[in-house]
Amino acid sequence: MNRWILCLGAMLLTHVALSQTTEEIDQPEQRIVVAHEEPLGSLLPETGVLPTESITVEMLSDDAFKESVRRLPQLMEKIRVENFAADNPYVLLPHRPNYVMPVTWYSNPGIHSLITTDESSERVAESGDYQHFESIFQLSIKYPIATGVLGSMSRLDIAYTNRSFWQMYNEDISRPFRETNHEPELIFTWQTRNKYIDYVSTTLNHHSNGQSGKLSRSWNRVILEAGAVFSNGLLNTKLWWRIPEPSKTAPLGDDNPDITHYMGYGQLQYIFLHGDNTVSVKLRNNLKASDNKGAIEIGYNFPLHKKIKGYIHYFNGYGESLIDYDNHQQRIGIGIKLSDWL
């Protein structure tokens, strides 16, 4: 009898041990399955409507603007947004138009300079063929440093504009960036109480193509700008004074002493608004009767999307880029604008 009891007890213990072993084997498998399901699900985007809340935001009132400025609501909206963003350290504002023109044709590619290195490892110029078709893009941003510096409607900004000319279709010479112009600026702007001039700005401007040696082009200017607002657009006039540089003594000195002969001493621009379409006309001239040089630039924008505009561009004259400041060019291009003057 005792022998049967002992055998029965051994069988029960064996069954319990086997059951525990099976559970220990099964449980890790279950944990592995759960562990795999959670991370994969968490990588998927959240669904549903984002929660929102109402907050109070103080914006410039209509009374902050001159009566003439109130005639152009687009300009008022731009100033309001920029003033509101002035205290936000995470915001970079558009300065000049930001655009991409993937297809442009220009008249005089000629034989331009390419960078090479001679036997003494000095950067020198070498001839290279460029094509008529190329792409252009412009990136232009500004950052408000201070508001209310001199008067309630005044502001100090730093800005940077990058304009690049890319031989994107020129496979024979490895699709180079033919020219890139850099333009950092320090700008002080204020609203006037004058009847005819609505705003004035003074700018310290550096304009360079970032090259060295024979390819270097640069100049520094102090620019005075005055603008008048109309119900259908904006007229602004710029006058500049070039900061003198010493004569060229390699590698230092003035790379382009005659640049004002081709770029002139100022420009006139009118931005015309008609519904959702915009036409801008820019004129420059050296005002010399005997050897007249100048340029005209026309841009036309039309809506494509809420934030994107189609852009058609035409240029005729001198100074389209620094490397070509003394070469006459015509260009027509098409692309998109991500931001505009207004």
Catalytic positions, written as ranges: 206, 208
Instruction: Say how many CA atoms lie within 13 Å of 113 toward its Cβ.
Output: 17
- Residues facing 138 on adjacent strands: 99, 163
Contact indicator for 313, 335 with CB cutoff of 8 Å = yes
**Residue 189 to residues 4, 95, 112, 153, Cα–Cα distance (Å):** 105, 13, 39, 8
What 105-111 contacts at long range (C-beta under 8 Å, 24+ apart), as own/partner pairs, is 105/132, 105/133, 105/331, 105/332, 105/333, 106/132, 106/134, 106/320, 106/329, 106/330, 106/331, 107/132, 107/328, 107/329, 107/330, 107/331, 108/324, 108/327, 108/328, 108/329, 108/330, 110/327
Structure-token match 């609505």, residue found: 198
Distance CA 84, CA 58 (A): 8
3-state secondary structure of 105: strand
Length of the chain: 342
Amino acid at 10: A
